[in-house]
Amino acid sequence: MLISSTVSAVKSGPRSPQVAREGNSDGLAGSTEATPAWADLGKLQYRPSELNGRLDALFARAARSANPVVASLEPVIRNAKFVKMDLEALKKQASQLTPEQLKPANWKFPHYIEEDSQRTMDFFMVANSINFLFFDPDSGEKYKTEFNGKEYTGADGMIAGLKRAMQEGVPVLDAAFLANVSREEMAHIFRGNFELPLLDERLAIFHEVGTVLQEKYQGHFSNLVEQSGGRAFDGGNGIVERLTQDFPSFRDTSPEGHVYNKRAQLAVGMLHSRLEDSGLFQCPDVGELTVFADYQLPRGLRNMGILQYDSQLAEKVDQGQKIPRDSQMEQEMRAFTIVAAELLREELHKNPEHAALDSRGLDSFLWLQARQDKNSKPHVTVTTAY
* Closest CA relative to residue 172, chosen from 183, 184, 152, 186: 186
Would residue 294 show up in a list of annotated catalytic residues for this protein?
A: yes
- The rounded distance, in Å, linking the Cα atoms of 48 and 28 is 7
For 309, list phi and psi in degrees, rounded to 5: -110, 150
- The rounded distance, in Å, linking the Cα atoms of 342 and 141 is 32
Torsion 105-381-94-56 (CA) sign: positive
Beta-strand relationship, 83-85 and 150-153? unpaired
The packing angle between helices 154-167 and 118-129, to 10°, is 130
- Which of 294, 310, 358, 363 is labelled catalytic? 294
Beta bridge partners, 309, equal 83
Amino acid making up residue 175: A
Q: How far from 44 is each of 25, 48, 53, 68, 132, CA to CA, in Å?
A: 13, 8, 11, 27, 39
- The rounded distance, in Å, linking the Cα atoms of 191 and 361 is 31
Amino acid making up residue 112: Y
- The rounded distance, in Å, linking the Cα atoms of 73 and 151 is 38
- The rounded distance, in Å, linking the Cα atoms of 56 and 65 is 15
* 114-140 CB burial, b ≥16 within 10 A, e <16: eebebebbbbbbbbbbbbbbbbeeeee
- The rounded distance, in Å, linking the Cα atoms of 295 and 41 is 30
Strands (E), the chain: 83-85, 144-147, 150-153, 307-309
- The rounded distance, in Å, linking the Cα atoms of 154 and 298 is 17
Give the residue numbers annotated as catalytic, written as ranges: 294
